[in-house]
Structure 1
Amino acid sequence: MKLLRIGPAGQERPALRTDDGRTVDLSSVTADIDGAFLADGGIARVRAALAAGLLPELAVGAGARIGPPVARPGKVVCVGLNYRDHAEETGAPIPARPVVFMKDPATVVGPHDQVLIPRGSVKTDWEVELAVVIGRPAHYLASPEAATEVVAGFAVSNDVSEREFQLEHSSQWDLGKSCPTFNPLGPWLVTPDEVGDPQSLGLRLSVNGVPRQDGSTKDMIFGVAHVVHYLSQYMALEPGDVINTGTPAGVALGLPGTPYLRPGDTVELTVDGLGTQRQTFGRA
């Protein structure tokens, strides 16, 4: 299933994109797609309502805004340098353990919302990533196999980064990752049964129509199950939490001479089966 949220920021309506391309209203099932919905068997209720024909079609105008597919994530946990080619292009050693950092959850915006380049920024960069959304509480998971049972679904994520803030202003990466609007998410939250193997998905990103990233999740150093299991040993993962699993090669940081993002630039990114994002960048 493809779950989504439609409407102005703060007023999104829960919806479902059906296999035949229709959009149906989930308001009779839930007020929103959030951690509480995921924790309380919301996906199973939606599946039952859809099978019973109880979900009315939702009229969606051509210009309707799509919000992030999960509301108010409690935390956004990120894994850096998780593709060998990306680590190599940045001159970093291949990590022996996942490199973990956090993003402010308030960075999460809709997949087509404008992204704001921070004041003073000269190195705002792009990163197409596979995002994992947690559906059940997870702490001290027994194995990577157990980790697959706590995943509610997957989404496209753009882990926008300001490299000067990230690498030169602090020994912590968070300053370059947590600027407002720096995590477009969506358009859909796609359930695991529809995704299949999360380690066989293509990821692509272009800037102003020029291809920049073209990778596959098969090239992750640490796969989805490993990452979720690993993180659960150090923190309590809660329903609605988002995990960004890393980006393949092709970011501006790793391409000498490639310009960083400027106001007016357009970035388009996609992950196989999870939909496409398109953002135009502006100035904060």
Structure 2
Amino acid sequence: MKFLTFEYNKQKYYGVKVKREDSAWILPKLFEAFGEDKDYPKTLLEGITRYHTLDFQEIVRKLVEKADKEDDRHLYKAPFSEITFLAPVEPPNNTISFGRNYKKHAEELGNEVEMTVFTKANSSLVGDEGTISDFKEVTSELDYEGELGVVIGKEAHNIEPHMAFDYIYGYTIVNDISARDLQKKFKQFFMAKSLATPMGPYIVTKDELPNPQNTAIVTKVNDEIRQDGNTSDMVLKIEDIVSEVSKYVKLQPGDVIATGTPEGVAAGLPDVDFLKSGDSVRVSVNGIGTLTTYIK
């Protein structure tokens, strides 16, 4: 399933993508009309937190089956052309990010391959088809980083790598927008990495992305391919990332871990400009979709 959060008719909803349609089932409306329990999850984060992954999917599947039999089923759908995508979930903690987790990306920036972990402010989250500033008042080196995001499904603390996938709810796309000059200016990355964090368009449940450690990541700027990588090139693999973070942080349902970016960022390409007003960035992850961001 592909879950999403969005604004529609001036209200905030969460839903699940309609198969073979560019629209979403509005899950609160389905719960109200067809659910047995009126104390239903009001947000996707609440749904992830309250239910085991497969249980929640089964509940949603049954609701969709009932709605799809109705003559007025269009009343329970929101066309993508009429919605504003939001980040699919707001993590309880700041978004956790791994740097230098692709060898060639570390090398293109002249860095050692070593574990680098930082967070990004949740206030920076932006949904698919969102517009962000060029932030020219604070940076002249705004850069993109297309990444696979791991969404945690249940509380995880000090878990072993072989157990990690039991704690994963699904996957999303993250564009780790980075101000390279601010990274050099400050000793830590928080300021340089919290200007904007596009995320989405969906959270894809892990059953629909059975091999996340071998999936393509492609980033385009104005339709020019800049990054063309694969998650198989990660230094620390997904299970190691989740396990390592859980040693120090009690991960909560809905937390998102961005797993690093492949080579091809603007800072590593000598003949490429940094992001500027008028640019568009599209990050595609096979099996999830495409996350589009516009720079104003």
Q: Verify same fold: TM over 0.5.
A: yes
Q: What SS does structure 1 have at the residue aligned with 2:154? A: coil
Partner of 1:136: 154
Q: What SS does structure 1 have at the residue aligned with 2:213? A: helix
Q: How does 1:199-210 map to 2 (within 5 A)?
A: 199-210=213-224
Partner of 2:6: 6
Q: Is the 8 A contact 2:8 2:82 kept in 1?
A: no
Q: How does 1:173-212 map to 2 (within 5 A)?
A: 173-179=189-195, 182-212=196-226
Q: Is the 8 A contact 2:102 2:233 kept in 1?
A: yes
**What is the CA–CA distance in structure 1 between the aligned matches of 2:78 and 2:165, rounded to whole Å?**
35
* CA RMSD in angstroms, aligned pairs only: 1.8
Shift of 1:6: 2.0
Moved more, 189-198 or 61-70: 61-70
Partner of 2:123: 106
Q: Is the 8 A contact 1:14 1:30 kept in 2?
A: no
Show CA shifts across 1:120-159 (max 9, x none). Answer: 3100000000001111011111x11111111111001100
Equivalent position amino acid for 1:75 in 2: N
Partner of 1:47: 58
Shift of 1:278: 1.4
Q: What SS does structure 1 have at the residue aligned with 2:130? A: coil
Shift of 1:262: 0.7
Note closer, same or farther for the CA distance 1:149–1:72 as it changes in structure 2 (3 Å cut).
closer
Equivalent position amino acid for 1:80 in 2: G
Show CA shifts across 1:225-265 (max 9, x none). Answer: 11000000111111111101000000011112311011111
**What is the CA–CA distance in structure 1 between the aligned matches of 2:125 and 2:143, rounded to whole Å?**
16
Q: TM-score, normalised by structure 2?
A: 0.88
**What is the CA–CA distance in structure 1 between the aligned matches of 2:254 and 2:279, rounded to whole Å?**
31
1:123 to 132, 141, 163: 141
Show CA shifts across 1:13-49 (max 9, x none). Answer: 1111143335212111531111x32121064234234
Task: State whether structure 2 residue 33 is matched by structure 1 residue 33.
Answer: no
Shift of 1:111: 1.6
Partner of 1:223: 237
Choose between structure 1 and 2: higher helix proportion: 2
Identity over aligned pairs, percent? 32
Q: Is the 8 A contact 1:30 1:42 kept in 2?
A: no
Q: What SS does structure 2 have at the residue aligned with 1:31? A: coil
Shift of 1:51: 3.3
**What is the CA–CA distance in structure 1 between the aligned matches of 2:148 and 2:99, rounded to whole Å?**
12
Note closer, same or farther for the CA distance 1:235–1:252 as it changes in structure 2 (3 Å cut).
same
Note closer, same or farther for the CA distance 1:104–1:10 as it changes in structure 2 (3 Å cut).
farther
Show CA shifts across 1:45-93 (max 9, x none). Answer: 3423413623454132514211111135422110001001101111111
Aligned residues: 275
Note closer, same or farther for the CA distance 1:46–1:185 as it changes in structure 2 (3 Å cut).
same
Q: What SS does structure 2 have at the residue aligned with 1:225? A: helix
Partner of 1:272: 286
Q: What SS does structure 2 have at the residue aligned with 1:267? A: strand
Partner of 1:20: 20
Equivalent position amino acid for 1:32 in 2: T
Which structure has the greater CA radius of gyration? 2
Note closer, same or farther for the CA distance 1:8–1:42 as it changes in structure 2 (3 Å cut).
farther
**What is the CA–CA distance in structure 1 between the aligned matches of 2:10 and 2:198, rounded to whole Å?**
15
Q: How does 1:53-64 map to 2 (within 5 A)?
A: 53-55=65-67, 57-60=76-79, 62-64=81-83
Q: Is the 8 A contact 1:129 1:246 kept in 2?
A: yes
Equivalent position amino acid for 1:245 in 2: T
**What is the CA–CA distance in structure 1 between the aligned matches of 2:123 and 2:10, rounded to whole Å?**
12
Equivalent position amino acid for 1:47 in 2: E
**What is the CA–CA distance in structure 2 between the aligned matches of 1:79 and 1:198, rounded to whole Å?**
16
Q: What SS does structure 1 have at the residue aligned with 2:88? A: coil
**What is the CA–CA distance in structure 2 between the aligned matches of 1:67 and 1:108, rounded to whole Å?**
8
